[in-house]
């Protein structure tokens, strides 16, 4: 399957996605966050002008805030704030869907690292909070909204995960299990993660018969060097289009969710997303539908524990300058103090 020459030749069932390798910013004030929001809006306009057939433009994690890990109220955003409002207006003005990243204020704890998919009418169709912050480097509150899936352009099913999320195969499996045909992965990764980035994008696609569209921030802020590396992978695990390290390049591809749906229906060999819940269906009617995985039972029961648990050296963020937290996590969002 081709990419339609990067989306230049759009088929009736195709969804053209652009991945923006946005130049890494370094804002430290509300005004600078607003200025960076305007840079993103200008890039939305570039996407529409350069590729009239584009359905969705995707911006990386940290595209408004950079990699400073600043948790001060001065630079944080909210769903009803001016930055998100401006992004919604830009999607309407340019008649395009957009995927965006914000560091979201959280009165109950540390900020959330959140992602939004906004349609061409300016409506938020998907709202996600990063489940797996990149510990011990990132200070963000663990996400509490699960992994939502939404209807996207041309009727495709979209999911969004953020950066380190993609290193956990359970994340991609959950996206596919909830119906996602295209999984977006936004990131701020730097060069040491390049190999892991590529193999997980491919494995996440192949193991779930799902297309993946992934992009990092790009360039340098004077301290960190993000890698760009936009990447589209087909449901058979084969890369369709790969970007480079050129900042502000928009890497495009035509994705075919209709072929994902076809493969999920008709593949026998390696239809792993189906076979996971129907083990050995050649031998037993319908296959075995039990859960033979100890770690799943233990996690659900709140007793997840590794054989080498006591030997793990990094269990908080002190190695990266963060104070050890004092409160326990509550999925309801109501946090309680440690009572040791």
Catalytic residue among 163, 207, 252, 253: 163
Checking 241-244 for CB contacts under 8 A at 24+ apart, the result is: 241/3, 241/6, 243/19, 243/21, 243/215, 244/21
Q: Does the annotation mark 218 as catalytic?
A: no
CA 78/CA 207 separation, integer angstroms: 35
Q: Does the annotation mark 23 as catalytic?
A: no
Round the CA-based radius of gyration of the chain to a whole number and report it.
20
- Structure tokens, 182: 């295209």
**Where does residue 107 rank: exposed (0-12), middle (13-18), buried (19+ CB within 10 A)?**
exposed
- Output the CA–CA distances (angstroms, integers) from residue 84 to 117, 175, 263, in the order listed: 11, 25, 37
Catalytic residue among 23, 61, 104, 141: 61
- Structure tokens, 203: 């494995």
- Structure tokens, 247: 């900042």
Q: Quote helix, strand, coil % in the chain, to nearest 5.
A: 30, 25, 45
CA atoms within a 13 Å half-sphere pointing along the CA-CB vector of 244: 4
Tell me which residue of 58, 51, 54, 47 sits closest to 14, measured CA to CA: 54
Q: Who contacts 208 (Cβ-Cβ below 8 Å, separation ≥6)?
A: 172, 173, 175, 176, 183, 235, 272, 273
Q: Does the annotation mark 163 as catalytic?
A: yes
Catalytic residue among 99, 130, 138, 218: 130
Residue with tokens 């819940």: 277
- Structure tokens, 106: 């959280």
CA 157/CA 183 separation, integer angstroms: 9
User: What residues act catalytically?
Assistant: 61, 130, 163
């Amino acid at each position: 399957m081709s990419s339609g020459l990067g989306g230049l030749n759009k088929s009736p069932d195709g969804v053209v996605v652009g991945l923006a390798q946005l130049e890494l910013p370094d804002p430290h004030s509300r005004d600078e966050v607003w200025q960076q929001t305007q840079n993103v809006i200008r890039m939305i306009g570039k996407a529409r002008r350069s590729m009239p057939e584009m359905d969705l433009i995707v911006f990386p994690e940290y595209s408004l805030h950079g990699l400073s890990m600043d948790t001060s109220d001065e630079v944080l955003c909210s769903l009803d704030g001016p930055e998100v409002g401006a992004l919604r207006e830009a999607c309407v003005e340019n008649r395009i869907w957009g995927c965006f990243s914000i560091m979201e204020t959280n009165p109950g704890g540390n900020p959330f690292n959140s992602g939004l998919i906004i349609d061409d009418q300016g409506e938020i169709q998907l709202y996600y909070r990063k489940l797996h912050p990149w510990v011990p480097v990132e200070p963000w509150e663990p996400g509490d909204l699960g992994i939502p899936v939404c209807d996207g352009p041309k009727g495709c099913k979209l999911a969004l995960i953020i950066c380190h999320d993609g290193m956990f195969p359970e994340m991609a499996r959950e996206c596919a299990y909830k119906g996602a045909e295209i999984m977006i992965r936004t990131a701020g990764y730097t060069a040491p993660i390049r190999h892991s980035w590529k193999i997980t994008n491919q494995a996440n696609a192949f193991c779930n018969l799902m297309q993946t569209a992934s992009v990092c921030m790009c360039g340098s802020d004077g301290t960190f060097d993000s890698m760009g590396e936009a990447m589209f992978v087909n449901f058979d695990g084969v890369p369709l289009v790969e970007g480079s390290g050129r900042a502000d390049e928009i890497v495009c591809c035509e994705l075919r969710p209709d072929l994902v749906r076809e493969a999920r229906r008709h593949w026998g060999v390696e239809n792993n997303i189906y076979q996971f819940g129907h083990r050995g269906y050649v031998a037993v009617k319908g296959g075995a539908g039990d859960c033979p995985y100890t770690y799943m039972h233990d996690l659900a029961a709140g007793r997840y524990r590794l054989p080498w648990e006591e030997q793990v050296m990094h269990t908080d963020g002190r190695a990266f300058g963060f104070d050890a937290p004092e409160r326990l996590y509550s999925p309801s969002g109501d946090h309680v103090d440690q009572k040791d």
